[in-house]
Every structure is written in structure tokens, then in C-alpha cells.
């Protein structure tokens, strides 16, 4: 693709609508085994050598659970059998699931708006054809529980999604679809190349996950178990720092990141210590967002200085009049997709 400077832009009206049939990608629901998740006893079930100090809680062996995700395949995927694709992961909010981007983001002409946006970006040559994955971001035995309960294992599962992503979901996607990235290549050259073929972004709680888990901030748990009271005053408190996943992702986006996002200096320090250059970090929020706009500046404060030259394109986009809704999030996804993989 071209290397020209690209500015953030409004979504063209026609891009929300369904394009011609030959432009339209397809959606496939797939089930996959998860061996890394929070169980009913609040322990981390894992098939890896992860210690309690790293996890912030005891780890145990256990049976796999089965989760589902939805995969968007671009037009021509079945026909062009030798072609391989970049992958974009899109994470949902605290009350959502793998369908939130597809249903909550609205429909036009009988198709989810997010699919129409990707169809148009691809067909009009703004981006290369890509695969998009919509997972359920709760890595917990009760991942189907969408309630907000700070003492619940379902909420705790949000803060442990990185283990599922690294050890379960990405290997499944890259083994079952024609991706350009290959997580089985653990060589230094392979890691450096493959991370440039994966991008991840999320809305609200999913935005927090991108920053805290992928960039590398703090995990959280209920104050009932930490026995501390955090200044958020929402029943949650920080526990241990996540190792980050910048070895797997070169492009990250956080749209209206949730209040439990770690401070910018913490995030920037993790980027620098991990040693992998973030080619794109895209952070956006509406200035009328009563949930996220107060913490949005905190998540950027000191980030750029701490990361130094390991932070590339850092986009900070405030949407005038924007609320905590898909007006901001679709705009974020549209522009993040335009800017990633370059």
C-alpha cells in the first residue's frame, strides 16, 4: 500500500451503506477451545507455565472451555485461495459480547455498519483486504454473563483476556484462516515480521484491554479481594502489571477507554521496556463522554515521553460532541483501519 500521509477523516455517508454484492465480505461464527481463563474459584486455569506472581493469583490446570467468535472474511477470500491476509481484532465493551460491534454499531441495508465500512475501505482501495475477528473478551468460565458485577468472575475475566488471546485465539485464527502472520514462528525475525500483520482495537472496556493488556498496564480485581480502595471508587482496584503483547501487535487502538485504564506513563514505560516499536497507537474519545473523557487524558499523560522512539504514529482524536457510543467507535474503527498495516 502507499506510504502517503493520511489524516483522520469523517466517515463518508455512502460508506455506511451496503456496497454492491461483489464488494461484500462474509461473517462466520466459529467455536474454539480456551485453555486459559478464570474459573469459578477466581483462579487462572492455564496450560502454560505461568506463575502466581505473574498472574496475580494462583494458577491451576483444568479442562478447556469452548467460546465463539465471529470472523469477517473479505470479498474474494474463497476465490483467491493463495492469498493471505492481515488480521484486525475488534474488542467489545463491558456489557457486550462478540456481537456488539455487529449489532450495537447499527445496520444499513440489512448489513452491520462495521462490515459496510470494511467493505468500502477494501473495494475503494483505501486498505488491503483483511480479516476481522470479533471475540468475546471475557476470559472466564461464565463468559456469557454480561452483567457489571465487580465481584464477579465474568468481570475479572476482562483483565485476563491476554492469556486467551496469546495462547488460544490467535493460534486458532492463524491455524484455520489464511493469515499473513504465523504465531508458530518464534524466531526474532518471525516475531518482528508477524506483529506487523496484526492490529487490535477496542471500545470502552475493550479499549482498556488494548491499553492495559496489549500495551501493558495493570490488571484489576474487586476491592473485596484486594482489600484496598482505589480513587476510581467503582469497586475495582489494581493488582499486578500485565506483561504486554507488543511482541504480537504493531498497531493498537483504544476508543473511549474505560476508567480502569492505567496512566500514560505506565503504558509508555512498558512500550520502552518491551523493546518493540508501536507503529500506530490510536486513541479517541468524545468530549461529551461522561464515562471516559475524564480519564482519557490520564491514559495519554507522559506516554509519548516514556515510550520515546519506540512509539511511532500516535493519534489522539477528540470528537466534538461525541458521547460514549458508536458515533465515536465506528469513526475510530474506520480511521484505525485506514492507518494500520502501513
Q: Helices in the chain by DSSP H: which ranges?
A: 52-55, 100-103, 113-123, 153-156, 161-164, 170-176, 188-194, 205-209, 223-226, 264-274, 296-300, 303-307, 326-339
Q: Give the domain extent around 126.
A: 13-339
Q: Residue 48 and residue 61: Cα distance in Å, rounded?
A: 9
pLDDT of residue 6: 79
Residue-level pLDDT, tens digit, the chain, 342 residues: 344 457 999 999 999 999 999 999 999 999 999 999 999 999 999 999 999 999 999 999 999 999 999 999 999 999 999 999 999 999 999 999 999 999 999 999 999 999 999 999 999 999 999 999 999 999 999 999 999 999 999 999 999 999 999 999 999 999 999 999 999 999 999 999 999 999 999 999 999 999 999 999 999 999 999 988 777 788 999 999 999 999 999 999 999 999 999 999 999 999 999 999 999 999 999 999 999 999 999 999 999 999 999 999 999 999 999 999 999 999 999 999 999 999
Res 174: pLDDT: 98
CATH number at residue 248: 3.40.50.1820
Q: What is the pLDDT of residue 5?
A: 56
Residue 120 lies in a domain: yes
Which residue, among 137, 132, 131, has the nearest Cα to 91 in the 3D structure?
Answer: 137
Asked whether residue 2 is assigned to any structural domain, the reply reads: no
Does residue 153 fall inside a structural domain?
yes
Q: What is the pLDDT of residue 232?
A: 75
pLDDT of residue 2: 42
pTM: 0.97
| 35 CB-near residues (< 8 Å, 6+ apart) | 45, 46, 47, 64, 167, 168
Q: Are 281 and 230 in contact (CB under 8 A)?
A: no
Number of domains composing the chain: 1
* Residue 3 in domain: no
In a domain, 298, yes or no: yes
In a domain, 4, yes or no: no
Residue 105 maps to a domain: yes
Q: What is the pLDDT of residue 252?
A: 99
- Contacts of residue 267, defined as CB under 8 A and 6 or more positions apart, other chains included, come to 211, 215, 216, 217, 299, 303, 306, 307
If residue 145 lies in a helix (H) or strand (E), which one and from where to where?
none
Tell me, what's the pLDDT at 192?
Answer: 98
The cell numbers describing 91, all together, are 474488542
pLDDT per residue over 183-210, tens digit each?
Answer: 999 999 999 999 999 999 999 999 999 9
Asked whether residue 276 is domain-assigned, the answer is: yes
Amino acid at each position: 500500500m502507499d506510504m502517503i500521509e493520511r489524516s483522520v477523516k469523517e466517515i463518508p455517508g455512502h460508506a455506511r451503506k451496503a456496497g454492491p454484492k461483489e464488494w461484500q465480505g462474509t461473517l462466520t461464527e466459529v467455536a474454539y477451545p480456551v485453555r486459559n481463563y478464570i474459573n469459578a474459584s477466581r483462579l487462572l486455569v492455564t496450560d502454560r507455565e505461568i506463575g502466581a506472581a505473574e498472574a496475580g493469583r494462583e494458577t491451576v490446570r483444568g479442562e478447556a472451555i469452548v467460546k465463539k467468535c465471529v470472523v469477517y472474511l473479505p470479498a474474494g477470500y474463497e476465490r483467491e485461495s493463495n492469498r493471505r491476509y492481515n488480521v484486525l481484532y475488534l474488542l467489545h465493551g463491558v456489557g457486550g459480547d462478540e456481537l456488539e460491534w455487529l449489532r450495537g454499531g447499527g445496520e444499513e441495508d440489512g448489513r452491520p455498519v462495521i462490515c459496510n465500512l470494511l467493505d468500502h475501505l477494501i473495494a475503494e482501495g483505501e486498505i488491503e483486504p483483511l480479516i476481522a475477528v470479533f471475540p468475546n473478551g471475557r476470559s472466564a468460565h461464565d463468559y456469557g454473563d454480561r452483567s457489571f458485577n465487580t465481584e464477579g468472575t465474568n468481570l475479572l475475566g476482562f483483565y485476563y483476556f491476554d492469556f486467551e488471546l496469546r495462547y488460544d485465539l490467535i493460534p486458532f485464527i492463524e491455524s484455520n484462516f489464511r493469515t499473513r502472520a504465523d504465531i508458530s514462528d518464534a524466531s526474532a525475525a518471525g516475531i518482528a515480521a508477524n506483529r506487523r500483520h496484526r492490529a487490535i482495537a477496542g471500545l470502552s472496556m475493550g479499549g482498556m484491554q488494548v491499553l492495559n493488556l496489549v500495551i501493558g498496564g495493570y490488571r484489576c480485581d474487586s476491592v473485596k479481594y484486594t482489600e484496598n480502595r482505589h480513587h476510581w471508587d467503582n469497586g475495582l482496584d489494581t493488582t499486578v502489571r500485565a506483561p504486554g503483547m507488543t511482541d504480537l501487535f504493531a498497531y493498537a487502538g483504544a476508543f473511549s477507554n474505560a476508567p480502569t485504564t492505567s496512566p500514560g506513563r505506565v503504558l509508555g514505560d512498558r512500550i520502552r521496556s518491551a523493546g518493540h516499536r508501536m507503529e500506530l497507537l490510536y486513541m479517541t474519545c468524545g468530549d461529551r463522554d461522561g464515562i471516559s473523557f475524564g480519564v482519557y487524558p490520564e491514559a495519554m499523560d507522559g506516554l509519548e515521553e516514556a515510550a520515546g522512539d519506540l512509539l511511532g504514529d500516535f493519534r489522539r482524536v477528540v470528537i466534538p460532541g461525541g458521547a460514549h457510543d458508536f458515533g465515536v467507535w465506528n469513526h475510530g474503527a474506520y480511521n484505525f483501519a485506514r492507518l494500520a498495516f502501513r
